[in-house]
Chains A and B, each alone.
Chain A
Amino acid sequence: MPHVLALRCRECGRDFPVEPIYVCDFCFGPLEVAYDYDAIQKVISRDRISDGPSTIWRYDDFLPVSREKAVNIGAGMTPLLFADNLGRELGLNNLWIKNDAVNPSYSFKDRVVSVATTKALEFGFDTIACASTGNLAGAVAAHGAKARMRTLVFIPADLESGKIIGASVYGPTVVAVRGNYDDVNRLCSELGDSRNWAFVNINMRPYYSEGSKTLGYEIAEQLGWKAPDHVIVPVASGSLFTKVWKGLHEFAKMELIDGVDTKMHIAQAMGCAPVAQAFLNEQSHPKPVVPNTIAKSLAIGNPADGYYTVNIANESGGSAVAVGEHEVAEGIRLLAETEGIFTETAGGVVVSTLRQLARDSRIGPDEQVVALITGNGLKTQEVVSGYSNPIEIDPTVDSFDELVMGAATS
């Protein structure tokens, strides 16, 4: 049973009924799900969680919908891997990689969309929609297919077709909107307000974003019921960042872990770093930017949760890094070569951020660090195409010895 009290405004604290709404009528602040923690405390235990399914739905006591009717394609309980090789490279002895690239549609978005789709069905919607340039489209299309819902995916018309092949295979209606990024945003905002659809990150946003908390829960559970010293989070809207923090604190509040002394670090790429820049410039509100980054999955110039992300980074004693654009591919390659994990651009940003934090001694060598790898590298192969350099030989052993073994030993 979900233990939801209400939707609560993050700005003025007013409560609203649990409906497909997302903004406070009074101050237009964002709404967030508020829980009855006393009721959760009565039932929750480590064993109850451990005995649950190997998906995000093991944590449904902390979610706005229960697992019984979950639209479940297996999101969550992804590996937390000890990264000894990468750690050696960076001088970090206690480094862990949370590999969310292995979710069903190959990104962490399956977590949020699984929750949003389930809630949408509970509300009685027959249509689910999103605006996306990649990962979110795939997750919505996959869950829409599983839920047998009409599925609409809005994309900018100039988006490379390859970006949405992974989504198209699930059979959604893909709408390519002529116009620039702002035009697509505006249209979707208007449609989200005027149509009787579940738009995952508009009217379903309070529920959708709660799915990200499960990353925080899993990290704590997989570390043996404790919060790490540091978490490195790729930041786009900032929602993931704030929800990982919320998840860790909910576990502490419920005494599932001893406490949270975790420094939260913002990872962005220079070409779209409004949140990192706000933190570094000691401003509370990010200044909107026009994205120009190869890290497309982080390309949100006007981040909805930017303000809250900066607050948490400050409150936790964390930091922020805006990595150079050239460092994105370097980070992807470093992770692949050391740990055998192929991540997309957001992961490259995280690894390069981690490298920078280690260089600057903002992470101690023996502190426990978790880096979030949120998407699969096969989605952005073009970024690392320059690394493909096969050695061409004749079909003879001599040619092999000369050109391959010679090269290998030289």
Chain B
Amino acid sequence: MTALRRVKFTFPPGLITRPVIYELGQRFQIVTNIRRAEVGPDVGWVVLELDGPEDQIDSGLAWVEKQGVQVSPVTGDIIEG
């Protein structure tokens, strides 16, 4: 089953120069569509949409996290005190 998922990637400084999003598209059957992004000296973030089979998106996001990228919903944290 194909799905669309909107997520935010936050990159630590050591990963800012690595083409993680390109690799994600190469390794998994996912089309990545960047909507907003900012790269600063200490942190970089990208808000993007992922389009592909649901299992590929799940596996892809797990791989991205394993590389050290933080993956979160575009809403930020939902659990509130």
Contact = CB atoms under 8 A, between A and B. Distances in A.
A283 B81 contact: no
Contacts of A117: none
Contact of B78 (A29, A192, A287, A299): A192
Interface string A82-97: 0000000000000000
Contacts of A63: none
B70 A189 contact: no
Nearest to A159: B79
B25 to A, nearest CB: 18
A188 B76 CA distance: 12
A7 to B, nearest CB: 15
Contacts of B38: 284-285
Contacts of B40: 283-285
A136 interface: yes
A212 to B, nearest CB: 12
Nearest to B45: A285
Interface string B56-81: 00000000000000101111111111
A334 interface: no
Nearest to A291: B77
Contacts of A305: 76
| Size range of the chain A interface in the assembly | 35 or more
B35 A28 contact: yes
B66 to A, nearest CB: 14
A184 B79 contact: yes
Contacts of B81: 132-136, 236, 296-300, 346
A115 to B, nearest CB: 15
Contacts of B47: 27-28
| Size range of the chain B interface in the assembly | 20 to 34
Given A28-B6, A285-B40, A131 B78 contact: yes
B33 to A, nearest CB: 10
B51 interface: no
A216 interface: no
A66 interface: no
Contact of B35 (A22, A27, A184): A27
Contacts of A23: 6, 74-75
B22 to A, nearest CB: 20
Contact of A304 (B6, B10, B70, B76): B76
A340 interface: no
Interface string B16-50: 00000000000000000001101010110101010
Nearest to B4: A193
Nearest to B65: A182
A132 B80 contact: yes
Contact of A185 (B43, B45, B78): B78
B80 A130 contact: yes
Nearest to B44: A285
Contact of B80 (A27, A131, A189): A131
Contact of A201 (B35, B36, B80): B80
Identify which of A202, A285, A296, A299 gathers the most chain B CB atoms within 10 Å of its CB. Answer: A285
Contacts of B73: 185-186, 189
Nearest to A306: B76
Interface in A20-36: 22-23, 26-30
Contacts of A181: 77, 79
Nearest to A290: B70
Interface of A: 11, 22-23, 26-30, 109, 130-136, 154, 156, 181-182, 184-186, 188-189, 192, 199, 201-202, 205, 236-237, 281, 283-285, 287-288, 296-306, 346
Given A131-B80, A185-B79, A304-B75, 15 more contacts: A27-B47, A28-B74, A154-B79, A181-B79, A185-B73, A185-B78, A205-B75, A283-B40, A284-B40, A287-B42, A297-B81, A301-B77, A302-B72, A306-B76, A346-B81
Interface of B: 6, 10, 35-36, 38, 40, 42-43, 45, 47, 49, 70, 72-81
30 contacts: A23-B74, A27-B35, A27-B47, A29-B36, A130-B80, A131-B78, A131-B80, A133-B81, A135-B80, A181-B77, A185-B73, A185-B79, A186-B73, A188-B78, A188-B79, A192-B78, A199-B78, A201-B75, A201-B78, A237-B76, A237-B80, A283-B43, A285-B38, A288-B10, A288-B70, A296-B81, A302-B70, A302-B77, A306-B76, A346-B81
